[in-house]
Structure 1
Amino acid sequence: MSAAPRGHAESGLLDPDEPPAFAIVNARGAGSAILVCDHASNRIPRRLSTLGLAPEQLADHIGWDPGAAEVAQRLSAELDAPLVQSGYSRLVIDCNRPLDNAASIAEQSAGIQVPGNLGLSARARAARVEALFRPYHEAIDRLLDARSDRPSLLLSIHSFTPVLHGEQRPWPVGVSHWRDRRFAALLSKPLARRVDGIVGDNQPYPIEEAVDYTVPVHGEGRGLHAVMIEIRNDGLRETAQIGAWAERLAAAYREIEAEAVSLGRWRVDI
Structure 2
Amino acid sequence: MSSRTSDFHAWPDPVEVLNAEGQSEIVLICEHASNYIPEVFDGLGLPPEDLVRHIAWDIGAEAVSRALSLHLDAPCFIGKYSRLLIDLNRPPESPTSIPERSEATDIPGNFHLGAEDRQLRTDRIFTPFQAAISRHLDLRQQQGRPTKIIAIHSFTPVFLGEQRPWHAGILFGKSFGLGRQIIDRLTEITKLRIGANVPYVIERISDYAIPVHGEDRGLDAVLVEIRQDLIGSADGQSRWATYLAGALS
Shift of 1:13: 7.1
2-side partners of 1:13 and 1:209: how far apart? 34
CA contact (8 A) 1:35 1:155 kept: yes
Identity fraction in percent: 42
Mapping for residues 90-169 of structure 1, pairs under 5 Å: 90-148=83-141, 149-169=144-164
Residues 14 and 170 of structure 1: CA distance in aligned 2, closer, same or farther (over 3 Å):
farther
Instruction: Report the residue type matching 1:57 in the other structure.
Output: D
2-side partners of 1:69 and 1:13: how far apart? 30
Match of 2:54 among 61, 66, 71: 61
Match of 1:214 among 192, 209, 213: 209
CA contact (8 A) 1:13 1:127 kept: no
Q: What do you get for the CA RMSD once the two structures are aligned?
A: 1.3
Aligned length: 244
Shift of 1:197: 2.5
2-side partners of 1:108 and 1:215: how far apart? 24
1-side partners of 2:47 and 2:209: how far apart? 29
Shift of 1:230: 0.3
2-side partners of 1:49 and 1:195: how far apart? 42
Residue in 2 aligned with 1:199? 194
Mapping for residues 165-204 of structure 1, pairs under 5 Å: 165-204=160-199
Residue in 1 aligned with 2:236? 241
1-side partners of 2:11 and 2:116: how far apart? 21
Residues 43 and 14 of structure 1: CA distance in aligned 2, closer, same or farther (over 3 Å):
farther
Instruction: Report the residue type matching 1:179 in the other structure.
Output: K
CA contact (8 A) 1:15 1:46 kept: no
More helix by share: 2
Say which SS state the counterpart of residue 88 (structure 2) adopts: coil
User: How high is the TM-score relative to the length of structure 2?
Assistant: 0.95
Residues 62 and 146 of structure 1: CA distance in aligned 2, closer, same or farther (over 3 Å):
same
2-side partners of 1:164 and 1:87: how far apart? 25
Residues 144 and 13 of structure 1: CA distance in aligned 2, closer, same or farther (over 3 Å):
farther
Shift of 1:55: 1.2
2-side partners of 1:87 and 1:14: how far apart? 16
Say which SS state the counterpart of residue 158 (structure 1) adopts: strand
Residue in 2 aligned with 1:7? none
Residue in 2 aligned with 1:35? 28
Residue in 1 aligned with 2:67? 74
CA contact (8 A) 1:76 1:83 kept: yes
1-side partners of 2:158 and 2:6: how far apart? 34
Instruction: Report the residue type matching 2:203 in the other structure.
Output: E
Shift of 1:17: 4.2
Shift of 1:182: 1.1
1-side partners of 2:211 and 2:153: how far apart? 16
